[in-house]
Structure 1
């Protein structure tokens, strides 16, 4: 008897690099600056207006009036301006519900330049050949972009499989288009793979409980013990980055207090950002490939509930009570931030769901100090970041510290100590007759 397929609607994003000429770059830059200015004007209008007069209709009227009176705001398409209004109201909604802080003023050099294209039908995407496609950008024209994924266009576009919109985003490597794609796909069958516990570390990026560790082969520290913040760059790129940083420091030394930054210094900063962005892309690419392989192989993935913000706090202390080992803690914080544990967990969450698996979180305290063989926590067992030797009499198990933590993580899940995401607390789902023993 054949099983009936269950279809579900999925939404995902696809990012591609745009190939723009100088004239098109100037047009999109102008639209991005106009979108940022529209946000700031809307924020000023909202904060200065009495609460009794604040409404969506009043804000929309103010935006329309500003576009009529200010010529350079007209370079932004009307639908993109409405998208700014919608995003601003959503930001306040997130603030009222406790998910984010209040919306703020967007500064010129600290804000990501972006433009929304809310209507997917305005894009008119066509494929030129195997490597390139064409997209219609409002008030810019036809633009080429790198074709790296099949998209629902032309005859394949239906009410369920279509492109619903896009956003133009600028980073250090240029302008990109992020497409919002909606598709109808069959629901995945339950994954029949094994259970695995994963511990995110510094020396070993992802340690798995079954020993199938995932390492990117880039040491987190140099020979002198300091953190390697440029580990995703090769030797030539590191030398180029060092040269650019020295040049920037030299040119910055000639600036007087209150003097504007020169164009040459801005150009040097842009070159540094390009190298940093290249390193980040390599790190994200490794994370995507690794998390995809894990989601395909394992049916249940268990990770720790980490408070990364608290883990990366500075140990500097105060004048009255100065901290200890400040330099070492600073290097450890930098290494933790480079590994981007939160981004790895986010990727695992949606990729396990896509392949029919599940992701669970367990409490983090004690997983790295407890022995995974005997179940006892003995002081002095954690020798270093990479070595664990159980000091319990009669055990003496030794091995990689991250591997030991991964085994403890999986054991906590099997004993029923899983976390409810909404409440953020541990819930014991222990089977009848099973005692909460710590011994394996």
Structure 2
């Protein structure tokens, strides 16, 4: 059998990802599950060690030093010794990267978090520790240290040099992911027309060059929603029994219920990702300039609940709105746009989102009265222009993107602006007024 990507050059980095469905045997499944929990525990221990040394001695610990501690721990603790040494070292390097992202002011990452028991199981490996061979046109095998050959479905060509590999499990089973160096350079500008995209809840995405919105199909059918609700209720009852009479020990029925819920939620996430990938790929291929709103999803989905003494208003309604916003994953869409725009020769421009739904795309009038409430109709109070509210917003987003992105295609409408009250605007600090001297 031909061997693919057995040795790797350390000077190149992964610039693409590949994910495949893996099919381990029964024994391999047990070994991978144990390794997954070991990886989680090792991450938590390494993170706790770094936090402790920084709080007590203001000492920054890095992976080079922790790898020496790991070598000593492998001889004393069997549960760490069973994990391949390459995977343990890769975990510590991943922790270094998590800290670097946290310290980088331009990166949105937060402080590295500890992994709970319910966290997704994953075992990372460096590219030098794995070997891939093709069995036939549809199947291939991955050789892992201490495990042997792991069979996976070759749904697409790897198409590059493997820099790292991760074996993970979700509700649908095991998967293997590769970080691949493809040597592909960004394409030249494709010269195609520009567009603006307005992401919403009622309309998943409304493109300025189209007359109808793109609606995401329901991620779960009606029967699947009923089943998920019933499973969640069953899980709540079983956990109540676990906490009181059973001493906190999870029963086999509770674990089965949790697995069934995981399968449904994973199916929902996969359908959501499928729509998002098709949407972003189509727009990046067929447009030269893509304008989107620079949304602050964290602020948009903040809870309406304050405290027990001063509870918020419409908490349940706001929780439902938050779920609808997150179901459309605007942050993931932007992430996909960013790397697909480079691949297909287009430009992504994120514009300020202030008053895009209250600005007339024809005359530029900004007036909250043009869109009363949250209706779908936009009627300008100045020029009488009428349009779907989301389509009007997408045209305004495109106009802002053209100005910001430096496009040589000028907007046809005027740039009239009317000062509006500061209701709903982002709070800004005002400069302190100088003190009057007598």
The normalised TM-score by structure 1 is 0.83
Residues 247-289 of structure 1, C-alpha deviations (whole Å, 9 max, x = no match): 2233334334463332211210110111010011011011111
8 Å CA contact 1:200–1:207 kept in 2: the answer is yes
Deviation of residue 329 (structure 1)? 2.0
8 Å CA contact 1:251–1:265 kept in 2: the answer is yes
In the alignment, what sits opposite 1:407?
395
Deviation of residue 391 (structure 1)? 4.7
User: Equivalent residue of 1:372, what SS?
Assistant: coil
In the alignment, what sits opposite 2:97?
90
1:74 to 52, 76, 81: 81
1:101 to 90, 105, 110: 110
User: Equivalent residue of 1:19, what SS?
Assistant: coil
User: Equivalent residue of 2:151, what SS?
Assistant: strand
In the alignment, what sits opposite 2:359?
370
**Structure 2: how far apart are the matches of 1:202 and 1:141?**
47
Deviation of residue 318 (structure 1)? 4.0
8 Å CA contact 1:216–1:286 kept in 2: the answer is no
User: Equivalent residue of 1:184, what SS?
Assistant: coil
User: Equivalent residue of 2:363, what SS?
Assistant: coil
Count of aligned positions: 398
User: Equivalent residue of 1:354, what SS?
Assistant: helix
Structure 1 residue 270 corresponds to structure 2 residue 259: yes
Deviation of residue 48 (structure 1)? 3.8
Bigger shift: 28-37 or 197-206? 28-37
In the alignment, what sits opposite 1:19?
23
Structure 1 residue 168 corresponds to structure 2 residue 167: yes
**Structure 2: how far apart are the matches of 1:431 and 1:186?**
27
Deviation of residue 81 (structure 1)? 1.2
Deviation of residue 28 (structure 1)? 0.9
User: Equivalent residue of 1:306, what SS?
Assistant: coil
8 Å CA contact 1:206–1:213 kept in 2: the answer is no
**Structure 1: how far apart are the matches of 2:151 and 2:62?**
40
1:238 to 212, 219, 225: 225
Structure 1 residue 286 corresponds to structure 2 residue 293: no
Structure 1 residue 143 corresponds to structure 2 residue 150: yes
**Structure 1: how far apart are the matches of 2:319 and 2:111?**
30
Residues 186-232 of structure 1, C-alpha deviations (whole Å, 9 max, x = no match): 652311110101110111111111125452354xxxxxxxxxxxx31
**Structure 2: how far apart are the matches of 1:101 and 1:306?**
18
Structure 1 residue 181 corresponds to structure 2 residue 180: yes
In the alignment, what sits opposite 2:378?
389
In the alignment, what sits opposite 2:237?
250
**Structure 1: how far apart are the matches of 2:237 and 2:143?**
44
Distance 1:287 1:261, change over 3 A: same
Structure 1 segments unaligned to the other structure (5+ residues): 1-7, 153-160, 219-230, 419-427
Deviation of residue 34 (structure 1)? 1.9
Deviation of residue 68 (structure 1)? 0.7
Structure in which a larger fraction of residues adopt strand:
1
Deviation of residue 246 (structure 1)? 3.1
**Structure 2: how far apart are the matches of 1:365 and 1:141?**
56
**Structure 1: how far apart are the matches of 2:110 and 2:192?**
40
Bigger shift: 81-90 or 100-109? 100-109
**Structure 1: how far apart are the matches of 2:344 and 2:385?**
36
Deviation of residue 430 (structure 1)? 11
Structure 2 segments unaligned to the other structure (5+ residues): 1-11, 418-438
In the alignment, what sits opposite 1:158?
none
In the alignment, what sits opposite 1:209?
208
Residues 153-173 of structure 1, C-alpha deviations (whole Å, 9 max, x = no match): xxxxxxxx4112211112111
The normalised TM-score by structure 2 is 0.83
Bigger shift: 178-187 or 343-352? 178-187
**Structure 1: how far apart are the matches of 2:386 and 2:211?**
18
**Structure 2: how far apart are the matches of 1:145 and 1:18?**
4
8 Å CA contact 1:193–1:298 kept in 2: the answer is yes
In the alignment, what sits opposite 1:438?
416
8 Å CA contact 2:216–2:275 kept in 1: the answer is no
Distance 1:186 1:250, change over 3 A: closer
**Structure 2: how far apart are the matches of 1:429 and 1:239?**
49
In the alignment, what sits opposite 1:134?
141
Deviation of residue 42 (structure 1)? 2.2
8 Å CA contact 2:198–2:206 kept in 1: the answer is yes
**Structure 2: how far apart are the matches of 1:347 and 1:39?**
28
In the alignment, what sits opposite 1:38?
42
Residues 307-343 of structure 1, C-alpha deviations (whole Å, 9 max, x = no match): 1111111223345654333332222111001010111
